[in-house]
Chains A and B, each alone.
Chain A
Amino acid sequence: MSEKFRYSYFPGCSLMATNRAYDISTRNVAKTLGIELEEVDDWNCCGATAYMPIREKRAFVLSARNLAIASKKKDQPLATVCNACYVVLKKTNKYMAENSTLKQEIRTALLAGGMDYDGTVGVRHLLDVIVNEIGEAKVLKHVVRNLSGLRVACYSGCQLSRPFSDCDDPEYPKMMERLASWLGAEPVYFPLSAKCCGAMAMTTSRETGYALGGQILHAAKQQGAHCIVTACPLCQFNLEGYQDEISRATGKESQIPVLYFTQLLGCALGLSGQELALSESLTPVKPLLENRVGSL
């Protein structure tokens, strides 16, 4: 009997617009690997990094509402591909478990809107599911294109491996590198894998944002990477969207294709350019991959 991989899927707001390609490629990759993703019904904003500092308790309620809906599917964990959603959802679970007053407050609030949540829905990042649960052997069964010769900078981002996560090393994450090497790609030495991409500073404190994003872009180029692979919509957007500005601000050439790990994996799984929404990238991701594997 074949194992069932079924998860509640939490796309998150940015996957509905700016990072649509991440949503499209995620769904298609999951389908190919036999992971069933059931979208959380009528989900709301996760509580997000930008909400937390203004109304912390409300942020927990936002997050808990999603988990409450997901908890209706008994014993079904939730998966997301956004690091920021991941960290907030995990944090809500952890703080509910550690602080009974907070838990009670959150439950009372949910109840006012006719819901309840006991704090027990498992929260996973899809990269973790693919690497640690599906595993190399099963992934390789579906691989039809070899990515050998493609030098990739595996950039996990800061919030995936810390501090509520147990799936990867908080300083030097390795999950994505493992996945890339299963596919035949060559991960370059990239100790900045868990450094910040610039996050909200990219819009609100530009100088700081450009310096942080620039570090990542320049380190990847210096290591001779052909592209940067990301696991978070905000990282991806910050790194692809401001390359010209960063070049101008830092005086260093900063152009490099930036793709989602689902696009890299999907390419190896034989998915088409359309199934991976490659044409929505601001950087030349499609030509880069076509150069390796032929027309997509």
Chain B
Amino acid sequence: MNPAESAAICQEFLDSVYTIPHGEKIKECIQCGTCSASCPSSAAMEYGPREIIASLRAGMLDKVLSSNTVWLCVSCYSCTVRCPAAIPFTDVMYELKRIQTEKKVSKDTGPTVMAKSFVAVVDKYGRNHETELLRKYFFQTNPFDGIRNIPLALRLIYRKRFHLRPRKIKGLTALKKMMSAIDNHRKEQP
């Protein structure tokens, strides 16, 4: 990615962070590292939470977005409750995840396939349906992994813990109208 492109991504990202409640606090980061020290996943992340803000300031967010970092966030909100500058860092992570999938900065990996499959299943039925979700997920990632999970699946089926057939909500048509209304609203925004 050339510098102009990566600067554009940084700007677009910042604009979307400013739309979340208290998002503007991101400007007040003092680089103390409390977030990284609190993060249960930071050991596995190529860039920890503090480094994400540092990369943003350096105009190099694309480095973060093409690494394994953002999808290792498990939404535990530890960083958010501890940040001395009151930055809603978990929401910042959601923005990063979204921009990464929308911009297709890197190819789909396990977590993005999972999140997209989840959205597809919920959009179709109004609720999650675990069997269909896992089928979609393993089919698109690593069917072999799916096979590894069969013993666990059988233990669940034996205990009646799997619904084999999905159930739609009654208000699905109205829900779809709501969804397209919010999508359109979003497009109309500058």
Contact with B along A266-283 (1 / 0, CB 8 A): 000000000000011110
Alpha-carbon distance A198/B73, docked complex (angstroms): 10
Alpha-carbon distance A211/B41, docked complex (angstroms): 9
Q: Which residues of B contact A115 (CB under 8 A)?
A: 174, 178
Q: Which residues of B contact A (CB under 8 A)?
A: 20-22, 40-41, 44, 68, 71-72, 74-78, 80-81, 88, 90, 93-94, 97-98, 101, 109-111, 114-116, 118-119, 122, 126-131, 137, 152, 155-156, 159-163, 167, 169-171, 174-183, 185-186
- CB pair B119–A159 under 8 Å, yes or no, is no
Q: Which residues of A contact B114 (CB under 8 A)?
A: 50, 200, 203-204
Q: Give 6 nearest A-B pairs by CB, closest first.
A: A53-B97, A113-B174, A112-B181, A158-B76, A13-B128, A199-B74
CB nearest neighbor in A for B88:
A163
Q: Which residues of A contact B (CB under 8 A)?
A: 13-14, 16-21, 42-45, 48-58, 60-62, 65, 87, 94-95, 98-99, 102, 105-106, 108-115, 158-159, 162-163, 170-171, 195-196, 198-201, 203-205, 207-208, 211-212, 241-242, 279-282
Chain B binding site: helix, strand, loop or mixed by DSSP? helix
| B118 contact from A21, A50, A109, A201, Cβ within 8 A | A50
| A242 smallest CB distance to B (angstroms) | 8
- CB pair A205–B98 under 8 Å, yes or no, is no
Given contacts A99-B21, A241-B152, A44 and B130 within 8 Å (CB-CB): no
Alpha-carbon distance A49/B80, docked complex (angstroms): 15
Q: Can you report 5 residue pairs joining A to B where beta carbons are below 8 Å apart?
A: A52-B75, A61-B182, A94-B21, A105-B186, A282-B155
| B55 smallest CB distance to A (angstroms) | 19
| A90 smallest CB distance to B (angstroms) | 11
Q: Which residues of A contact B122 (CB under 8 A)?
A: 44-45, 48, 51, 62
Alpha-carbon distance A56/B20, docked complex (angstroms): 10
| B26 smallest CB distance to A (angstroms) | 16
Alpha-carbon distance A242/B94, docked complex (angstroms): 27
Given contacts A20-B161, A48-B128, A109 and B181 within 8 Å (CB-CB): yes
Given contacts A53-B101, A109-B178, A109-B181, A42 and B169 within 8 Å (CB-CB): yes
Given contacts A17-B163, A62-B122, A114 and B174 within 8 Å (CB-CB): yes
Q: Which residues of B contact A18 (CB under 8 A)?
A: 130, 156, 161-162
Q: Which residues of A contact B131 (CB under 8 A)?
A: 17
| B179 smallest CB distance to A (angstroms) | 6
- CB pair B72–A201 under 8 Å, yes or no, is yes
CB nearest neighbor in B for A52:
B94
Q: Which residues of A contact B22 (CB under 8 A)?
A: 98
| A72 smallest CB distance to B (angstroms) | 13
- CB pair A282–B116 under 8 Å, yes or no, is no
- CB pair A50–B81 under 8 Å, yes or no, is no
